[in-house]
Homo-oligomer: A and B are copies of this chain.
């Protein structure tokens, strides 16, 4: 019942999450120490254990904060498509755009930390401990199921197994593109501002992915040497 300001309650938590997101991205989960991130956040070392309980619980919180809304947005975008075209078969390209949009928009959020998170997410597919992989898979599962079903309806003639692989390829292209926009020298020659232009990236990615998804089922008969 005190009259003290109520601000500090969430602020420390948020500052820790922001710092953790950036440092986990830069140094990995093991490489970023709690001392590093509490120093960056300007909070006391013990605050992490007070607010989150352990380093591992902090890692989970970092992912949940961003992934939950991102996948909600993905599902909402798909819902909108289906409501706007009731009963009709959706074009694969529009499903692709609905899926990649929420992730792409995040890379424009440099100040709010979204870009850091996107790159952190990219590393997560290969690096982390099993427990983290399981968490990510769990958080992604609902959106993935919805999109898988949408693609199956949009491409009824494609064998299920081939479709699963092509979804996997698309997922990989997106993950890599979002994660590595800073790091890969190949892209270094491009205009720097293009790397974070979500609209341009969406056009380029949508064209590439749509063509890949619709690739002919029998590979072209090539005349071997």
Contact = CB atoms under 8 A, between A and B. Distances in A.
Contact of A208 (B85, B212, B225): B212
A62 to B, nearest CB: 16
Interface residues of A, number: 65
Interface in A170-200: 171-173, 175-177, 179-180, 183-187, 189-191, 194
A204 B165 contact: yes
A91 B220 CA distance: 11
Contacts of A220: 93, 210
Interface string A148-188: 10000000000001101111110111011101100111110
A11 interface: no
B212 A180 contact: no
A6 interface: no
| A interface: dominant SS | helix
Q: How many copies does the complex hold?
A: 2
Given A172-B176, A173-B172, A203-B219, A187 B164 contact: yes
A127 B172 contact: no
A222 interface: yes
Contacts of A214: 211
A85 B225 CA distance: 9
Interface of A: 27-31, 84-85, 91, 93-94, 119, 122-123, 125-127, 133, 137, 141, 144, 148, 161-162, 164-169, 171-173, 175-177, 179-180, 183-187, 189-191, 194, 203-217, 219-220, 222, 225
